[in-house]
Structure 1
């Protein structure tokens, strides 16, 4: 019994001795550094007075930043992402890209090596820093690392379809959008063949780990239209997804395909009767609209246009009430000339023509606003109905006026 008691006491004492040693051994393990998921061998951060530091020379050389020391000024410098970074041992300052940043404490020299504070270095040079204490690893990830595909998917989808769920919660468009509507399930499909479509992120600048500014070029060629658009975006990472906080249309160029005359001639030759029906119904729509013939205008308006109005609008007013009210205070008039069908599908048709818009209530006389247009029609209820039109004369370029990266 006594032997058992002595053995138990010895075992407990042994545990008390071993445990602190094991803990000390674990804390003495070097911290491992990873940058953009790549292990940086031979560069081990340390923690001093609650601040994590990294030996600058080993770190800079491993990252390819270059190292320069001026013995006269004691200035230590390197190049990161094309911009100079500079600091001085014993000083509480880092200069990067012509901007000065104050540090919590002076840059220390430990065992003859200059150390820089890792977290503040990351904030200055646009890296997020995460310390996994149980695993003794530090991860630096450049702002936006691995986010290219998600961002491109967002700006591609936004260009193709309107969906307020792609916007940040404070985006003003959300305040007058129907957020209960299933936009993805109700996207319209087009019969017009797309011949070429490219989305290019021209430039992107991350202002934080969850914010970015970018310029995107869209080039889309279809059978009836070649267009190029450039947009500027401010994005924000919100609830696990990139969202659009602000957007601006910077550039637009539209032109008809070089073979548009040939396509119109083929339609006239092969579908003469149907192309005449398209033009006749379109002229009926404009005649009714100009005469403020409410019933007939409604009859020749595309059902999908009216459906979209109900789906997107938050007002309780019906489309019929909206149209009547519009006729009551407006003198909108449209004159269509030189019209021809340039695309003819089973449910969709496109007419090219010249539109002259006037409105006496706004002192716009006939002939003051004339533009070449593509007019999109939908076949419904046994007739061709007006859906919408776009002006081919609206080309603009605001890139020289607006610097979105300031």
Structure 2
């Protein structure tokens, strides 16, 4: 398989080399910003004499470009990304931003439709174009803010994987993949339920190596790069027999060569299924690792197994559990039930938990822990309804620690849409002062304003820390019967927007934290044709 890029004036090129290929006329598939374009034409896109031709209205609409057609002169004019192109039917000369260029294949008429050279249209409008010869597929990315890099490696992990279930339950899931930087390289970690696969790339994604590590227990829970220079992976095992003697969690410590250097097995913590209906987050500071996730508990007196959160503090030098305030793992002091999303960060020596609870309490709740004791509980967004309703109309995307506040991002039907089964969810940023004593200290800034009649909703959101006063937000807007859209913005530690929201025409990160290196943000999408790496400069 050869993936190639098009450039004006050349036929087919890989990097800077030119490859001339004789093609027979054949149909091709076209993807724009990760979505396949379905052309309404008797003749679909095809390759003729080495060039891809597409119906002109279909490709301009897919690119969201401005289009005009002069029937008298048979002239097409298009504008996108501050660029303007002009070409006429059957003429091999065209204009790009006022400069004349030569076309090897002109626009032509076929089956009563006008077909245009895809390479010229896309690159003339400032897009990035990739051609897959093996399956006759063209991928086009129209965003100028994002640099796209193609690598031929299939990373074997589904990247259309953002799961916050449906409007009735609103629960999340652990991430099966991570992207991180270390030792002057960028790494991508995934698993196939038996082994971890760690792919190692240089910063330009030119070199590639792979490390394979056997999993310690059958279920993958999460991964963390610690401040002590080691990697930590959490595994789990089901325990429907409710045996106190069975290991249900394993936290394994690895060195930079992925050799195991320590391990903590955990049992007798009232777990039948680890990570149930939630995600897993970790953080570390000064030799202490905190793990925050959820589980399905042992059978209660009512004959049911209930879901709630569970967390561990671990001494990473001895790989032992640290003592906490009196309580039990059945009813921990930071108990939230049901916890449909779990996040945790250190703030100095303080541990800060944020949960999406639908029962006890029914809220997005923030709790602080100092010296093993829960010292505050702040309800950021309360949900109406009764215990057991499950539906909350909200999603929790994450939180970070600013200089004076805790900054939480999520989406909800509130405050302008009625509670119930509404699909409409608006993006919010909540700030909680570090010295907050009750819920009145919470400030919420709503970044979208979709009405209850709107078909739009924010389904996926991320917050990543650039520094103590700058945070990157990335979110996805879904709209019924239309492709989803990805946006980003930058906020400060007070939750105020300092770089206005902007649409970027690439797939969203999915169920993974985007990687921050300085002001550059990375994520990726992978499929059978290979992997696309996205790099956004968020100054």
TM-score normalised by the shorter chain: which range applies? 0.3 to 0.5
Bigger CA radius of gyration: 1
TM-score when normalising by structure 2? 0.26
Structure 1 or 2: more helix by fraction: 1
TM-score when normalising by structure 1? 0.32
Structure 1 or 2: more strand by fraction: 2
